[in-house]
Structure 1
Amino acid sequence: MMGVIGEPTDAERRVWQARDMIRALAMQWFGQGESHRFTVTTMRTGLVLSDPLDMLRATVLVRRVASAQERAYACDARGAGWSWAEVAGVLGFAEWDEPEVLAFEHVAERGGRPGVRRESVSWRCTSCEQRVTDTGPFGSHPTDVESGHAEACARHRAEIAAWVERTGWGQ
């Protein structure tokens, strides 16, 4: 989708920049030259590597690194206090049923192999600095799904207080 008066949107510019970065990495890694050619990926003439297989190699490596970083940054976001629903929004699951569950399952997948997932993920809580084990958005009470917070963790205490307020239990 084009922006105002045919200008590219910020999202389009980011995609183009990512493609340029992958092409530059492939040139650096594999020593290939560039030429102007029509490509199926862009449906236009543009700079491409002399050997498209090297471009594929670079893309696969970048995808593997990005996948690992996606998981790490999602765990960092949980450690910083963002909910699974908020992580789901960034991952593109917000419009699906149970987006927070989809986000957890996506992050818990091992090695990018669908159907093989961990039962938990872990992250460092930025409030208490402890390593927390998170079993996902499946339980009700915060202590049922997160273990490892320090006894006096302000974040965890706030989550429990919000749960008590929301459910009316424990009053």
Structure 2
Amino acid sequence: AVYLGCEYGGRISSILLNVPGEASTVMTTLDGYPMARKGLAGVALSLSAWSSFIGAFIATCGMVLFAPLLAKWAIAFGPAEYFGLMVFAIVCRGGMAGDRPLKTLLAALLGLFLSSVGIDANSGVYRFTGDSIHLADGIQFVVLVLGLFSVSEILLLLEKTHHGQEAV
């Protein structure tokens, strides 16, 4: 219950301020903030609450039913399956390239680089930490996403107030 409350709490700032409070509320900013700007903040917040409740209910029922099967499958996962999963991910990424394959390749390489920062799980070797103890656990996804969205929103608000427009 506490986890679900925190997840919903992150949506409030996403809808009202266009700054996601959690990594899972990034997509909420795309629909919720425009609704709030149109005066429909209450509707956006209630839709978010109900969708969270329904999704959590379905997910909980699914986990109760399928957890034993998933546990058996996860234990049987070996190096060959991990390799197959990586090949599948790269092929899917290539399928999403569309008319900008270079941009997609650069985004995939940047994601691979950011995910490789920290301690290697197999060998214990520090990778791309620059002798900083703060990067030993890797780059936290939540911090990265919140920083990107918050900085962009602050810069947009500064630009609006600089040009004499009222920042809402």
TM exceeds 0.5? no
Q: TM-score, normalised by structure 2?
A: 0.25
More helix by share: 2
More strand by share: 1
If you compute each CA radius of gyration, which structure gives the higher value, 1 or 2? Answer: 1
Q: TM-score, normalised by structure 1?
A: 0.25
Q: Which has the higher contact order (CA 8 A, sep 6+)?
A: 2
